[in-house]
Amino acid sequence: MAKIAVRHLTKSYNGGRVVALQDISFEVQPYESLCILGPSGCGKTTLLRLVDCLISRDQGEVLLDGEPVTTPRPDVAVVFQHFGLFPWKNLEENISYGLALRGEARQEIAQRVERYIELVGLRGFEKSYPYQLSGGMQQRAGLARALAVNPSLLLMDEPFGSLDAQTRETLQEELSKILQQERKTMLFVTHSIDEAIYLGDRILLMTPRPGRIREILGVKIPRPRDISRVRSDPQSIQLRNYIWAQLKQHADNS
Amino acid sequence: MRTSTYSWGIRFLSLLVVLTAWEIYGRSVNPILFTYPTAIAAAFVELVSKGELQRFLMQSLEVFVYSFALAVVIGIPLGILLARSQTLSLALEPYLHAVYSTPTVAFIPLIVLWFGFRVPAKVVIVFLFMVFPILLNTQQGVKNLSQDLLEVARSFCSSERRLWLDLIIPSSLPFILAGVNLAIGRGLVGMVVAEFFTSVAGLGYMIVQYANSFETAKLFVPIVVLMALGVTLIGLIKVIERKVTPWQNREQGEI
Ligand SMILES: Nc1ncnc2c1ncn2[C@@H]1O[C@H](COP(=O)(O)OP(=O)(O)OP(=O)(O)O)[C@@H](O)[C@H]1O
Ligand SMILES: [Mg+2]
């Protein structure tokens, strides 16, 4: 059974004047990672919101593990494009947010928080408030908060968008490792073609106005993957050129 | 450290110069029209030793404390209700805004007519001065909920109770405190004006009484006390603000 099944999903804003998504259908298998690529405004964030039922859809349906979603599920964690940290909680409290809501034991929370703070490289900032952190640090905190609840499905909205190239690579590798070890399914929105190729089992290309699926491409590079090796892999070079041409073609047309 | 010593030095020096100038000039003027710092200090000592100042101060504080408590207990919950219920806010907002926009002093004679000259009347007056900033700020604070954070809370399946604890209360707290701050300033004005009107008790009555008897040095004593009261209360709120909303303590330049 598919982990995510999206069928004929349509969503518009402003009483139908802005069609953000039109007739989107795709499936994601368990433990698969699907990367979503597309120009700004093509409806990627909208799609993620619909999958976790954070906004209402106009038409179509979303099934998680075969069941229609009607409300956000606790085993789905979202990394938001807007970070979404609570300004009045320090880093520790922000990262433990999901765990605290579940009523986990204090010790368990402390352990997991420490582990994920370490993982995203924020040791020493436990007591800092978001305003004391840089944009990239806040983004990593959002990532740690989502990972800490050990979700079966991760919805990530450009989670590495504000990071420098080195940090970005480190976190891509860490994430790839986590996906392997902890067996998670992931929807990952990005603007970076290389990132999509490295992290994705498949890549979903979107076109804007209205947001539609242009094409779904498979990435048949075996795992575990090594970043520099993936970058120079002939298949990945070919894929990158192809995707680039597709996106550029669309940009030229509009 | 150096800048802090420096700024305190400047403050002290400024105070010294102004007080000295006042002293020198004050002594040369008719004591009915004006006075000077040492005369005020002497009047202060006299009024305290007779217990008069304490008595009037306690009368004023009694009114102020009751009104403040009422304004908080009514203003904050009502503000929250208005923010959460559109029906209620549509129904009540016209009246609230009408009363808030009217200079509150205009209601005083009416309130005196209804409630008399004593504590209850003054509590109502000062309450009217204080409740609106608290109420309206609370409403605005609760309404200004970040949609992004609401989305985060929903995605983590927050319960309604936790939503209040994690999101609604902390996000409206700075607004509420700002409202309380405003209310204290307005409340002190209301208190003095109410005492002018009712003229039976309090620091305001003291002012009227000594103005009528041309004892200008004594007239200044309640004024100085009110000044100190205002500064203290506003400072207290600042301290509370810093304590309960530490995320707002961004680095700022010298005050
Ligand atoms: N709350 C909203 N109200 C009205 N229109 C919206 C809203 N959210 C998104 N839109 C519109 O829907 C379209 C898709 O927006 P969305 O945020 O999903 O794009 P995106 O692909 O995530 O873009 P980006 O890459 O810039 O994040 C845009 O045209 C946007 O203007
Ligand atoms: Mg987006």
Q: In Å, how far is B92's CA from the nearest CA of chain A? A: 30
pLDDT of residue B253: 44
pLDDT of residue A99: 94
Cβ distance B250 to A149 less than 8 Å, yes or no, reads no
Out of B149, B151, B159, closest to residue A86 by CB: B149
Which atom of ligand 1 has the smallest separation from the CA of A209? 29
Does ligand 1 lie within 6 Å of residue A44's CB atom?
yes
Which range among A18-27, B32-41, B246-255 shows the weakest confidence by mean pLDDT? Answer: B246-255
pLDDT over threshold 50, residue B66: yes
pLDDT over threshold 50, residue B141: yes
Nearest-by-CA chain B residue for A93: B166
pLDDT tens for residues A183-241?
899 999 999 999 999 999 999 999 988 899 999 999 998 888 888 899 889 999 999 99
pLDDT over threshold 80, residue B250: no
pLDDT of residue A138: 92
Q: In Å, how far is B148's CA from the nearest CA of chain A? A: 6
pLDDT of residue B129: 93
Which atom of ligand 1 has the smallest separation from the CA of A47? 18
Of B173, B195, B191, which Cα lies nearest the Cα of B183?
Answer: B191
pLDDT of residue B232: 93
Per-residue pLDDT averaged across A136-150, rounded? 92
ipTM for the whole predicted complex goes beyond 0.85: yes
The ligand minimizing its distance to the Cα of A40 is 1
Q: Encoding tokens for residue B206?
A: 């003291």
Q: Does B154 touch chain A (CB under 8 A)?
A: yes
Out of B155, B162, B166, closest to residue A54 by CB: B155
Higher pLDDT, A152 or B249: A152
The full DSSP string for chain B is: -HHHHHHHHHHHHHHHHHHHHHHHHHHTS-TTT---HHHHHHHHHHHHHTTHHHHHHHHHHHHHHHHHHHHHHHHHHHHHHHHH-HHHHHHHHHHHHHHHHS-GGGGHHHHHHHH-SSHHHHHHHHHHHHHHHHHHHHHHHHHT--HHHHHHHHHTT--HHHHIIIIIHHHHHHHHHHHHHHHHHHHHHHHHHHHHHH-SSHHHHHHHHHHHTT-HHHHHHHHHHHHHHHHHHHHHHHHHHHHH-GGG-------
Cβ distance A80 to B148 less than 8 Å, yes or no, reads yes
Which atom of ligand 1 has the smallest separation from the CA of A211? 14
B75 neighbors B136 (Cβ within 8 angstroms): no
pLDDT of residue B254: 41
pLDDT over threshold 90, residue A181: no
pLDDT over threshold 90, residue A45: yes
pLDDT over threshold 90, residue A55: yes
Mutate to test the interface with B, among A51, A86, A147 (most CBs of B within 10 A): A86
Measured CA to CA in angstroms, residue B75 lies from A35, B80, B245 at distances of 50, 9, 20
Which range among A20-29, A78-87, B3-12, B194-203 shows the weakest confidence by mean pLDDT? Answer: B194-203
Q: Does B251 touch chain A (CB under 8 A)?
A: no
pLDDT tens for residues B193-219?
988 888 778 888 898 888 888 888 888
pLDDT over threshold 60, residue A245: yes
Does ligand 1 lie within 6 Å of residue A14's CB atom?
yes
Is A39 exposed, middle or buried, given 0-12, 13-18 or 19+ CB atoms closer than 10 A?
middle
Per-residue pLDDT averaged across B155-173, rounded? 92
**pLDDT band at residue B252, thresholds of 50, 70 and 90?**
low
Cα Rg of chain B (Å, integer): 23
pLDDT of residue B18: 93
pTM of the model: 0.83
Cβ distance A101 to B156 less than 8 Å, yes or no, reads yes
Does ligand 1 lie within 6 Å of residue A207's CB atom?
no
Q: Which amino acid is it at B50?
A: K
